[in-house]
Chain A
Amino acid sequence: MKKNSISIERNKGFWTAVHSLWSGLMLSLRHIKKATKRREQMYVSDPDYFTQKEGLVTLKYPYETIPVPDNGRYRLHNEMDDCIVCDLCAKICPVNCIEIESIKATEEIGITSDGTKKRLYAPKFDIDMAKCCYCGLCTTVCPTDCLTMTKVYDFPEVDIKNMIYHFTDLTPEQAREKQELFKKQQAAKAK
């Protein structure tokens, strides 16, 4: 009976074993010899990207980086001047990392770059980057496109509290002042 040809052949003999052990050693020796070469940092679109097949491949990360795509979607950024404090982003966020408070303005306080009128102040607009899961839902619901994901992906902090990003452009005093103004206006209307 002929043996199943797929099965691995065993006991092929002493010299076969010596030969395969030796070729294994030579294989790793070839890699040691090529240790003088290193991969260059280059972006995947570079025509030479796949031609660098030899040498060390480790990237010394903080000192060397591969370029991030221009439309990379990492750290959130809110352009406060364009924000109308609609609270949509906070509502859709699956991990509740966005916290927004709002104060009604006594009058129209400005116009965003796409022409929407701003009627609300934001005394608090916090994004907790430690909670953020980078799903990008907040950026798609944003009506004025003020909330965007940037290509910054390296922003670790020693203290986790620093991962909460405050985007508001009002100081607490200013916020209180606006609150008072709104109350006065409401009171005046009620009379």
Chain B
Amino acid sequence: MLALLICIVVILGLVIALAYAERKVAAFIQDRLGPTEVGPYGMFQAIMDVLKLLQKEDIVPATADKNLFRIAPIIIFAAVLAGFAVVPVSPDIISSGAEVGIFFLLSIVSLDVIGLLMAGWGSNNKYAVLGAMRSVGQIVSYEIPAGLAILSAVMICQSLNLQEISFQQGILLHHFAGLENEKNYLFGLKALNVDVTAVGGITTWNIIRMPFLLVSFVIYYIASLAECNRAPFDIPEAESELVAGFHVEYSGFRFAALFLAEYTLMVLVCLVATILFLGSWNTPLPNMGPLKLATWTTGTPGTIVATSWGFFWLMSKVSILLLSQIWLRWTYPRMRVDQLMQLCWKILIPVSLGMVLLAGVWRLLMI
């Protein structure tokens, strides 16, 4: 229960910061100022927006399917929030060390789709239904390349446990039960015979252990943008033709919950990308001769220092990914539905299938 509270507080803080960052970055890209009024540089604007949404009237349309309409935002947010249960934050902090970590995460986040359909259908509004249909079609399609990209990373790591995957990508390899006799070779290739187990840093990240995972990472990143309904894949919102999509009828706290779920999902997919491809909570700095950068910026597991370093590195990587998502949103125009599906089915899925094959072959070279 305490973990849930801490999780919600951290996520809320992160989401509020993200909403503020989004508005400021958007403004700067478009040569505007962004929020300036509330607090220094408008920093409290996002908090004020939350307060405003909370005290707004909770409107349920007269002819809506009231139960579906009321429950939908809760299901959407709960589904996304449940995904955080298996996310490791540092060598010592993890809400649940479930062995099926990433599998659980993918399946529970898929519940989101049910919530979206409930919201769209329950609103009894054709625009909401259209928005929900687009959103669901898009999410279901893009879960395939995302899942395959994740699969290729999982095949390299031979584990579904997110904490085990994290330990594999750093100098703390031997601290995880079951990995005591493992070794990390440069590019994962035993044939090269360059042992980087003690070097750590970026050399043991998954995208270096198996360099082609960079392709998988890009595929996952694109697919995750679509799963969050983020631009350039924000056709469920399409304000020019659909008027805000499936949440057009929502107001007040329920709208806030939907908005929160979208931003929380952004954070979650960035966390997953970081954990699977970018070394999780491990430092990017390698040990180089007398410069024990990796050791210095990791700390001894079990201490506060190690926890803080882990949290710091994870959050830095996630923040960079989040910023890149915002950057993309305000750069690229929205894609059409057919372009969206073409990209998914004709390009991303074949390439990610190839990546799964390549990952299998690479894994054979690693042992």
Contacts and interface: CB of A to CB of B under 8 A. Distances in A.
Interface of A: 21, 24-25, 27-29, 31-32, 34-35, 55-58, 60
Nearest to B28: A35
B30 interface: yes
B25 interface: yes
A58 B33 contact: yes
B330 interface: yes
Interface in B15-48: 25, 27-33, 36
In the complex, which of the residues B29, B31, B33, B327 has the most CB atoms of chain A within 10 Å of its own CB atom? B31
Contacts of B36: 60
B226 to A, nearest CB: 16
Contact of B31 (A21, A27, A56): A56
Contacts of B31: 31, 34-35, 55-58
B32 A28 contact: no
A136 B234 CA distance: 48
Interface of B: 25, 27-33, 36, 327-328, 330-332
- Describe B's contact surface by its main secondary structure: loop
Nearest to B32: A58
Given A35-B28, A56-B28, A28 B33 contact: no
A126 to B, nearest CB: 36
Contacts, number: 37
B30 A31 contact: yes
Contacts of B32: 56-58
A4 B248 CA distance: 43
Nearest to A32: B28
B324 to A, nearest CB: 9
B33 A56 contact: yes
Nearest to A57: B31
A58 B36 CA distance: 11
Contacts of A58: 27, 31-33
B328 A31 contact: no
B334 to A, nearest CB: 14
B350 to A, nearest CB: 13
A27 B328 CA distance: 11
Given A28-B29, A29-B327, A56-B32, 10 more contacts: A21-B332, A25-B327, A27-B331, A31-B28, A31-B31, A32-B28, A35-B31, A55-B31, A57-B32, A60-B33
B330 to A, nearest CB: 6
The 9 A-B residue pairs with the shortest CB-CB distance, nearest first, are A35-B28, A58-B33, A28-B331, A28-B29, A32-B28, A58-B32, A31-B29, A57-B31, A24-B331
Contacts of A31: 28-31
18 contacts: A21-B332, A25-B328, A27-B331, A28-B29, A28-B330, A28-B331, A29-B327, A31-B28, A31-B31, A32-B25, A32-B29, A56-B27, A56-B28, A56-B32, A57-B32, A58-B32, A60-B33, A60-B36
B199 to A, nearest CB: 31
Contacts of B30: 31
Contacts of A21: 332
A24 B29 CA distance: 12
Contacts of A57: 31-32
